[in-house]
Amino acid sequence: MKVNPRDVWLWYRMEIRSALRERNIVLNSLLLPLLLYPAMLWLVLSGFTFVQGQTQGLTSRVMVTGDATAAEALTARLRENPKVETVSFDGGEQALDARIRAGDLDAVVAVRTDAGPGARAELVLPSALGSAQYVARYDASKDRSRLASDRVRKTIDDIRRDVLAGEAAARGIGLDSWQAFHVGTVDTASREDIGALVLKLLVPTILMVMVALGCFYPAIDTTAGERERNTWETALSVSASPGSIVTAKYLYVATFGAAAGLLNIATMVVSLGPILEQFARGAGDKASFAFPISAVPVTALGTVLVALFVAAGLMILAAFARTFKEGQSMASPFYLATILPIMLLQSPDLEFTPGLALIPVANVAMVIREAIAGTFNLPLIGLTALVGVIVVGVCLWIATRVLASEDVLAGGFNGSFFKFAAARLRPGASRDKGKHE
């Protein structure tokens, strides 16, 4: 396959210029990675916060049943919370459960003051509430009911604390001494570690999706789209060799894929930290979501490697299509196959092993994940790069075989890449009749 760098450059410039004038390509390959994801993230988090705020503002309708004195005491404590409304309904346990499921009631608290047959006499407290048993019934599938249960639990915890404090004071000891033992925990993770835990799951996935999306439209546009617009034969009749033209097209598609990824990284570096921190204000002191600058070089190199692979794969598949629509259906399975393994890597404890380093795209996602967490395993990074170079090499070899097939090149081949592979790429398959210089 003859490739002339001057012709490649001229054709590449023409493709880029054309693509930058195509609304769909600019939108999907450049604007989407640059703007939409931070915007979407902000919208989702805003929505989440809004819904959470709305839920917190709801009044909990709670019914207290059981021992009259204890129930009255608990009702009085619950009423101290302005967000709790105590209500009353007729019926047994099943009827009340049905009301909870129907949303007429948020929780029912049953109070028993007998300590039970196994209770030791010295542990049964004399106050009305001190030795009571509380059973709260609620519907975990309903936000409002879960919130009511939480509010009831908090009230009961407050009662327990007050009772224990009273009993401790009556015995002339401090509340701390009442505890048989204390359990304490110390979190050794830094703010950056906590932030990295979130970033390493989020960033590689979005990044790989962006690179694949960045390649998708240009790959189809420059192959199937070119056939649909009847410009492919125009291309074949100019002095530049098919090898030069396809090389230029390949570099153009990879450029858009890499640009989508790199723009996405830039956006994340600038905006991800502030956005996430804004919405994690409750844990604001516990986490830092800034994208680590030390991870940028590895992330950028990984992005380029994935772009080269995805561009080659998409172009090979779409080259067999005659229309843009056909190209989309032929290339979509590869697009999904590229993204799906990344989706499966969502376990935070997943280790980057040599086996994972052999899976294209997933290996780059793992390298980026490790880099965000501050780990740079050079042998595995090297293996990932090697695998990347090999798969790109295989794709280019397939591309040269496709290019050498006159019927595919001239649009006479009737079928997909898989038909072509079965007929011409398997060992012992017949070579194509026509050859192109």
Binding site for another protein (CB under 8 A): 2, 7, 10-11, 14, 17-19, 21-22, 229-231, 233-234, 236-241, 406, 410, 412, 414, 433-437
CB of residue 228 to another protein, shortest distance in Å: 10
* Residue matched to tokens 């595919």: 408
Residue closer to another protein (CB basis): 182 or 433: 433
- The rounded distance, in Å, linking the Cα atoms of 340 and 279 is 28
Q: Taken in order 24, 28, 32, 37, is the CA torsion positive or negative?
A: positive
CB of residue 239 to another protein, shortest distance in Å: 4
Residue closer to another protein (CB basis): 28 or 241: 241
Tokens found for residue 179: 């505890």
Q: What is the DSSP letter of 282?
A: G
Residue closer to another protein (CB basis): 13 or 325: 13
CB of residue 436 to another protein, shortest distance in Å: 7
Residue closer to another protein (CB basis): 199 or 251: 251
CB of residue 19 to another protein, shortest distance in Å: 8
| Spatial contact of 190 and 160, defined as CB atoms under 8 Å apart | no
- The rounded distance, in Å, linking the Cα atoms of 429 and 35 is 48
Q: Are strands 107-112 and 133-138 parallel, antiparallel or unpaired?
A: antiparallel
Residue closer to another protein (CB basis): 13 or 154: 13
Q: Identify the burial level of 385 via C-beta atoms within 10 angstroms of its C-beta, where 0-12 means exposed, 13-18 middle and 19 or more buried.
A: middle
Residue closer to another protein (CB basis): 60 or 405: 405
- The rounded distance, in Å, linking the Cα atoms of 226 and 249 is 11
Enumerate the β-bridge partners of residue 138: 107
CB of residue 241 to another protein, shortest distance in Å: 6
Q: What angle do CA 16, 271, 304 make, to 5 degrees?
A: 40
- The rounded distance, in Å, linking the Cα atoms of 389 and 392 is 5
Amino acid in the structure at residue 263: L
Which helix (H) or strand (E) segment is 65 a member of?
strand 60-66
Amino acid in the structure at residue 161: R
CB of residue 256 to another protein, shortest distance in Å: 15
Residue closer to another protein (CB basis): 20 or 169: 20
CB of residue 18 to another protein, shortest distance in Å: 4
Give 23's contacts (C-beta < 8 A, 6+ positions apart).
none
Residue closer to another protein (CB basis): 193 or 406: 406
Full DSSP string of 254-270: HHHHHHHHHHHHHHIII
Residue closer to another protein (CB basis): 343 or 422: 422
CB of residue 8 to another protein, shortest distance in Å: 11
Q: Which of 143, 141, 139 minimizes the C-alpha distance to 53?
A: 143
CB of residue 6 to another protein, shortest distance in Å: 9
Residue closer to another protein (CB basis): 200 or 249: 249
C-alpha dist (Å) from residue 254 to 13, 16, 26, 31, 370: 14, 11, 14, 17, 24
| Spatial contact of 287 and 277, defined as CB atoms under 8 Å apart | yes
Which helix (H) or strand (E) segment is 141 a member of?
none
CB of residue 101 to another protein, shortest distance in Å: 60
CB of residue 251 to another protein, shortest distance in Å: 16
C-alpha torsion 344→347→353→358, nearest 10: 10
Residue closer to another protein (CB basis): 351 or 437: 437
